[in-house]
Structures are given as C-alpha cells and as structure tokens.
Amino acid sequence: MEIIGQVQGDNLTELWEWVQSLTLSPNTIRSRYAPNRLVKCFGIASNLQSIAKGRARLYRVEDPGDRIRALGERLLPGWHSLLVCGGDTTIHWHRDHGHFEGMAVMVNLGEALYCERDYDKGELQHTLTDGLVIRINTKLLHKAVPLSTPRYNLTFRHLKPEFVPQVEETMAQLQLPVYSSTH
C-alpha cells in the first residue's frame, strides 16, 4: 500500500455528499468475501464470477459524471472501472478478480483498518483515515474492516488489456436472478 494523497476540505465534503446520494445495492454484485456490502459500479462492471468456468462477464454501466470521472483520471489515468462500496464494508481476505490489473487506487471515506499480506514483509496493517487516497496491489491478499460508521470506499481499476474486447454493451446479465420461495 502506498499513500498517494488526501482529499480534504470542500472536496471531501462534496465527495461524501455524492457517495451518500447514490443508491447502493446489495444485489448488483455479490462477493463471498464481502457478503453484506452495498455497491454501485461505474464505467465497466464485473459480475465477479469465475473466469475459468466461463461465467465471468463484463458490462458497461453508467458514467459517474464529470467530477468523479475527472477525479479518477487524476488518480488512475485511463481507468475503466469504479466500484463504490458502503454499508458493512468489511471485506475478508481476498485478491481482486482476474479481469483487473494488479494496481488500483482507492479513496477511503471514514476510517478503516486495511491489511495486506506481502510476500516479503508478512502481514501489514494500515489505518485509513477520512479522505486518504492509496495505491494498492489487489493481487496481494488483502482485507478491510471499517472503524467508523458510515464508511465508504471508491476503487478505480484498469481492466487487463485482453479483457477489454469482452466488455458487453448491456448490464442485463449483471442483475442477480430472483428466486421464488416455492423452489
């Protein structure tokens, strides 16, 4: 993990207002590593399913708007995917999905404990403060535990080049099926 900046003052207030204005959903994508988090995807979204089993899909979803797109360009030029998480943002040990390159940039809102397992240094723990901007290696095992409520994070990522041609134009498949209680 590398600290690359801090969002402060009116910019931090505006970012909080933007995130709190979003409708985050528990049903858009589900992760076994973060079963209770609420999410919203921008740019390109992944259904977080298995690439090896052929169930992984990438979809174009809505644009976050000029200000957030520009923030992403400053933090991670050419970003493809923005994942906004809130609610119970506890995420257990994991590596990010194989569609994405290893380096990502995260803006933390609120406070959290961020841990990563570095192959050379062992387990490292970092306290993330409100507005902290970090560069993370998402291919290292990592986890995050909120220390404040509410807590949100915005993670900007690149797709691996070989997956860019696989992006589908609609997000219909991204919605989870609704199961009847009669099954």
pLDDT in tens, 4-58: 999 999 999 999 999 999 998 766 666 666 666 788 999 998 877 777 787 788 8
Question: Looking at residue 130, what DSSP letter applies?
Answer: T
Q: What pLDDT score does 55 carry?
A: 79
Q: What pLDDT score does 172 carry?
A: 47
pLDDT band, residue 183 (cuts 50/70/90): very low
Could you tell me if 29 and 61 are in contact, meaning their C-beta atoms sit under 8 angstroms apart?
no
Segment 85-96 shows an average pLDDT of 82
Q: How far is CA 121 from CA 51, 66, 103, 112, 139, in A?
A: 30, 39, 18, 21, 15
Q: Which residue has the tokens 């119970």?
A: 88
Q: Which residue has the tokens 């921008």?
A: 42
Question: Looking at residue 176, what DSSP letter applies?
Answer: P
Q: State how far the Cα of 86 lies from the Cα of 130, in Å rounded to an integer.
A: 14
Query: How many C-beta atoms lie closer than 10 Å to residue 31's C-beta?
Result: 15
Mean pLDDT of the chain: 86
Q: What pLDDT score does 19 carry?
A: 96
Q: What pLDDT score does 177 carry?
A: 38
The CA angle 176-87-134, to the nearest 5 degrees, is 105
Q: 20-29, 67-76, 82-91, 117-126: which has the minimum mean pLDDT?
A: 20-29
Which helix (H) or strand (E) element contains residue 104? strand 100-109
Q: How far is CA 105 from CA 4, 35, 95, 127, in A?
A: 9, 22, 15, 16
Q: How far is CA 118 from CA 36, 75, 90, 123, in A?
A: 26, 23, 20, 6
Q: Residue 118: CB partners within 8 Å, gap ≥ 6?
A: 124, 140
Q: What pLDDT score does 50 carry?
A: 75
Q: 104-113, 131-140, 169-178: which has the minimum mean pLDDT?
A: 169-178
